Amino acid sequence: MQLKNDLLLRAAKGEKVERTPVWLMRQAGRILPEYRAVRESVSGFIELAQTPELAAEVTIQPVDILDVDAAIIFSDILVIPEAMGLPYEMVEKRGPWFPETIKSEADLKKIRIADGVDDLNYVIDAIKITKKALNGRVPLIGFAGAPWTIFAYMIEGSGSKTFSKARAMLYTQQKFSHRLLKMITDSTINYLKAQIAAGADLIQIFDSWAGILPPDHYQEFSLKYISQICDAITEVPKTVFAKGAFFARKEMGALNCETIGLDWNMGIAESRELIGDLKTLQGNLDPAALYGSPKEVEAATKRMMDQFKGSRHIANLGHGVYPDIDPEMVKVFIETVKNYR
């Protein structure tokens, strides 16, 4: 199906665009009262993500309400450990929690490489429903977590400020760490290929905990596996967003992907110099800028756009939109990007 608005795909590929495309990480979610109404109709986040019709509905909400240039499928990065045989729960106000964790080589026998289709059929079905309902209005983004970020949760069992158990593994059990990372990588490739077959027009890899590793470990235990995923996915453009990995921007320029996402701590001019001209940059307004007045949000957005001027760019925030931000300020951000020339 021909897309009516293919700005995002053209910008990712470095083709000519009439204006900069714009979308937001976490645009489908708690900032919208319409989302909260759907969420209240089910027992919680996991049930919502595992009900394809509802996941599709909340995926499309930001396209209808905020008028963004792309939809991103409503799901979670932790569906991969679940599909591999390590289920998780979402604890209110605390985040994800794994009743069982991976502690040693012996535990690898309890998990498997996910096939991506049958193991995660609810995400695949949600993509198919969303794609049909969007009817070519905008592209649909599929996504997965980077292997290191998934590994961190599977070892730690929950979110953490330090992920010290997971990081300790990289020092004390290197062979085991690489085995588990490879299983996660193979599962993720299967999953992303299934998303693309179902209709995803572009995929994004989220390395949420990139910034807690030292540079040498980031090379060995994260970037190496992200690179394998990028090489395996040839069907659609790919975006890599590694939060906090300011030290690896030069290496990211060499990845086999079209777009590199910048967090709000990464200087734009410096990032462009390190990453080079052959990649599109995505981002990177500080999400906290959206707490300002309409005038302040507009001014902050223009300052960001001025710095990206004349280079390959997809406008976004430097991380997910915060849940207590006024949707009206999100609209100001989007409109400012759209009107920027």
* Known binding-site residue numbers for substrate: 26-30, 76, 153, 208, 319
Active site residue 125: no
Dihedral sign, Cα of residue 260, residue 262, residue 266, residue 267: positive
Write the single-letter amino acid at 15.
Answer: E
DSSP 207-241: ETTGGGS-HHHHIIIIIHHHHHHHHH--SS-EEEE
- Say which of 19, 30, 286, 340 is annotated catalytic: 30
- Compute φ and ψ for 282, nearest 5 degrees: -120, 135
Catalytic one of 26, 167, 272, 312:
26
Six-digit token string for 35: 């989302």
Annotation: binding site: 26-30, 76, 153, 208, 319
Instruction: Give the Cα separation of 193 and 302 in Å (integer).
Output: 37
Give every CB contact of residue 81 below 8 A, 6+ residues apart in sequence: 87, 88, 98, 111, 150, 153, 154, 184
Is 39 among the residues known to form the active site? yes
List the catalytic residue out of 39, 167, 272, 312. 39
The β-bridge partners of 158 are 97
Catalytic residue among 6, 35, 69, 76: 76
Are 180 and 154 within 8 A, CB to CB?
yes
Q: How far is it, in rounded angstroms, from Cα 163 to Cα 267? A: 26
- Residue 76 bears catalytic tag: yes
Question: CA 316, CA 287: separation in Å to the nearest integer?
Answer: 9
> Which among 6, 88, 119, 153 is annotated as catalytic?
153
- Backbone dihedral angles phi then psi of residue 202, each to the nearest 5 degrees: -160, 150
Q: Are 41 and 231 within 8 A, CB to CB?
A: no
Catalytic annotation, residues: 26, 30, 39, 76, 153
